[in-house]
Amino acid sequence: MKRKLLLISNSTNAGEEYLGWPRKHIVDFMSDTGIKKLLFIPWAGVNLSDEGLNASFDIYEERVNNVFRLLGMEIYSIHKEKDPVKAVNEAKAIAVGGGNTFHLVYMMHKTGIINAVRQRIFDGMPYMGWSAGANVACPTLRTTNDMPIIQPASFECFDVIPFQINPHYLDANPQGHGGETREQRINELLAINREVIVVGLREATALWIEKGKIDLVGTRPMRLFNYGHEPVEFQPGDDIGFLFKSLS
Choice between 3 and 60, CB closer to a second copy:
60
Catalytic entry in 83, 146, 154, 239? 146
246 belongs to the catalytic site: no
Q: Residue 47 Cβ, how far from a second copy at the closest point, in Å?
A: 4
248 belongs to the catalytic site: no
Choice between 4 and 142, CB closer to a second copy:
142
131 belongs to the catalytic site: yes
Residues contacting 61, CB < 8 A, separation 6+: 40, 42, 75, 76, 77, 79, 80
Helices (H) and strands (E) in the chain, counts: 7, 11
Helix (H) or strand (E) holding 208: strand 205-210
Residues that bind a second copy (CB under 8 A): 10-15, 46-47, 53, 56, 99-100, 103, 140-151, 154-155, 168, 170, 172-180, 185-193, 203
What does the alpha-carbon distance between residue 154 and residue 109 come to, in Å, rounded to a whole number?
8
What does the alpha-carbon distance between residue 143 and residue 168 come to, in Å, rounded to a whole number?
11
Choice between 34 and 174, CB closer to a second copy:
174
How crowded is residue 87: how many other Cβ atoms within 10 Å of its Cβ?
21
Q: Residue 147 Cβ, how far from a second copy at the closest point, in Å?
A: 4
Q: Residue 207 Cβ, how far from a second copy at the closest point, in Å?
A: 18
Active site residues: 131, 146, 168
